[in-house]
Each structure stands twice: as C-alpha cells, then as structure tokens.
Amino acid sequence: MAGSVVQELGLYTVCDARYFPALVMLGTSIRHHAPGATLTVFDVGLDDAQRTWLADRARVVDGRADRRSTPTLHKPFAATLAPRGPILIIDADGLVVGDLTPLLERVRSRKIVAAVDPKADRRVDAWSTMFGLRAPMREQTYVGAGTVLLDADRHGELLQRWWDLCGVASERFEEWKSDLGQPLMHNDQDVLNALLMSEVPAGTVEHFTDDQMVASFFMPGLRLRDPERLAFSVRGRPAPLVIQCLIRAKPFLPEGGRELYGSAYAVAARAVLTREARRAARGSAVAADRMVPWMRPGLLGAWRFRRRTVRIRVRKALGRWRARLLPHR
C-alpha cells in the first residue's frame, strides 16, 4: 500500500548548470526513498551533457525560452503541465531521505504540507494590492517554499495562481525589489505565503515537524548512516524524511570550498558525486573533471575535502575561543 501511494507522487524542481550536482543527489535520493515516483526538471540553463545524462532519469521541460527575473520564480511550473494527484515541489538541493507515505496521507485529506521557515516571520500588507489577492489576509505562520506537498487535483487553482503571480513578480521584479519595504524579499516564497494567508482557507496548511525535516546550515546531530542509500540518522530522534541545505555556498559549487563545514549534506554530496564519477564515461555530465576538486574520487579528492573541512572547523573554533576569552574592545 505504501509503495502504491508513493508511486502516485510527482516531484518538480528547477535547475541550471551550476546546481546540476545537487540534482544528481536529489535523483539518487528519490530512487531509494520514493521508488516509482516521477521527477520533472524545469531546465533554466542545463548544458547538453547534463540533458543527455538526465534523458532516461527524469522528464526535462525546456524552460530556457521563458526566462523570469530569477530562477526561483519558475518554481510552480508544474501548473503548466496539468499534474494530477499528489505532487512535491522541491528545491534542487533538497533530498528525500525517508518514506513520505504519512505525509501523502495528509495531502490526500486536503492538506498542504510545508516547512516553517526558521529564518523568516513575515506578513506584508502590501501583498494584497501587489498580487490582487481575492480574499483579505490573515495572521498565519510563514512557510518556506523549498519543500511543498499538495494535491494538484484539490489545489490546482492555488498552483495556477502561484505560477501566474510569480510571472507578475518577474515583470515587476526590479521595482518591487528596490522597495524599502522589501515586499519581495523571498521571491516565489513571498508569493506563496500571500496566497496561503488569504485565498487558501485557514487550517489547510500543516507543517513538517522537526523530526520529519532537517533544514539548516550546519545540520548538527545529523549523520549519514548509509552513503549508498542516502539514509540519515539524528541523535536521539527519528530519522528525517526530507533534508534541505540552506547554506548559500553549496559544497558542490566552487565557492563552497570556503564554507565546507563537513555537514552531513556535504558528506552525502561527496559520496554520491564520487560514486557517479567512477562510473562515468569521458565527457559525461558527472565525469570527475566536471566536479570541484574536493568532490572528485580518489585520495587527492578525499584529502582536499578533509583539509578544507578541518581548516574551517579550526578557524571557527579559534574564533569562538577569542570571543569567549579575550577582552572586548
């Protein structure tokens, strides 16, 4: 029964060439933890080798001709594909690491499941006018748009409105971004929350619990238990279902070498990308020479990863020691 429920699930994400390594990780996590679910990728800048690699692993929708002001404003693109049943809209750097069946049962009962944003608590009155909302806004918990579960049959209108208003936000992007009130600080996420706080009936939105989702910069307590299956554990708590990496300098990006804290997500990234690189043919999108040096297979790649991780941890530890023991000026 659980397997049949997950097989009905459609996953939708937006990706460009830079974030392709994250997409490789996401696809790996889906194969192990949501087998039978379908992944659809909105291509906003993948290269030819990446599209070739994805051809038999995901459905790729060419979005290069429909460029919005920022890639995140494409996030509800599922609205253009008339999806049916439960769908998960997820950031490319998210991971599905557990059985989603309990959440899908909640979605079937007309709920929308999203994560409380730990860094934002906002409601902007100007959203009513900006987006032409069809109902008054109310006080409600602000949620993140990086992982949103809903039933497209029951909430198709919300999905379409989210897509349409992200288009409006793209057209007015420069104007609204320069507004001192920062009504579009979080792009697609602000659009979604405006709709959830007005046009969607109160009580429809439920939240991932802390046990179900790990969304943080450093992911304290999270451990990669099985690198092959991308199974994680958290000390003293149930294993999570979804992981989202919030740090801007992702470990698979060139700038990620400056912020390589050795989090469980970074360790998982190295496990997946080195495994794929070992299997890859020359010229493949996952070949070693296309990875940043610390994500390449072999002893040299492992040493580069370890060296950066230790150096950053030592630097941070020294910073905390100075702040605690040295007199303030």
Model confidence pLDDT, tens digit, residues 7-54: 789 999 999 999 999 999 999 999 999 999 999 999 999 999 999 999
> Which pLDDT does position 316 carry in this prediction?
61
Tokens at 139, concatenated: 């006080």
User: In this structure, is residue 234 part of a structural domain?
Assistant: no
> Which pLDDT does position 196 carry in this prediction?
98
User: In this structure, is residue 220 part of a structural domain?
Assistant: no
Q: Are residues 132 and 193 in the same domain?
A: yes
Q: Are residues 203 and 254 in the same domain?
A: no
Q: 1 falls in which pLDDT band (50, 70, 90)? A: very low
Q: Are residues 58 and 165 in the same domain?
A: yes
CA distance 196 to 131: 13
User: In this structure, is residue 198 part of a structural domain?
Assistant: yes
Q: Are residues 44 and 156 in the same domain?
A: yes
Is 144 a residue whose pLDDT tops 80? yes
At 267-312, the pLDDT tens digits run: 999 999 999 999 999 999 999 999 999 999 999 999 999 998 887 7
> Which pLDDT does position 320 carry in this prediction?
59
User: In this structure, is residue 156 part of a structural domain?
Assistant: yes
Query: Where does a domain end: 145, 175, 207?
Result: 207
Q: Are residues 114 and 51 in the same domain?
A: yes
CATH number of the domain that residue 140 is part of: 3.90.550.10
User: In this structure, is residue 213 part of a structural domain?
Assistant: no
Q: Are residues 169 and 303 in the same domain?
A: no
Mean pLDDT of all residues in the chain?
92
Q: 246 falls in which pLDDT band (50, 70, 90)? A: confident
- The radius of gyration computed from the CA coordinates of the chain, to the nearest angstrom, equals 20
Q: Are residues 198 and 298 in the same domain?
A: no
Query: Where does a domain end: 207, 224, 258?
Result: 207
Structurally, how many domains does the chain consist of?
2
Q: Are residues 20 and 94 in the same domain?
A: yes
Position with higher pLDDT, 3 vs 208: 208
Q: Are residues 21 and 133 in the same domain?
A: yes
Q: Which domain holds residue 272?
A: 250-329
User: In this structure, is residue 295 part of a structural domain?
Assistant: yes
Q: End-to-end CA distance of the chain, in Å? A: 64
Q: Are residues 171 and 55 in the same domain?
A: yes
> Which pLDDT does position 327 carry in this prediction?
56
Query: Where does a domain end: 173, 207, 241?
Result: 207
What sign for the dihedral angle of Cα 294, 295, 300, 306? positive
Task: Write down the pTM of the prediction.
Answer: 0.92
User: In this structure, is residue 229 part of a structural domain?
Assistant: no
User: In this structure, is residue 309 part of a structural domain?
Assistant: yes
Q: Are residues 178 and 261 in the same domain?
A: no
Tokens 């992981």 belong to residue: 243
Is 329 a residue whose pLDDT tops 50? no
Q: Are residues 280 and 149 in the same domain?
A: no
Is 2 a residue whose pLDDT tops 60? no
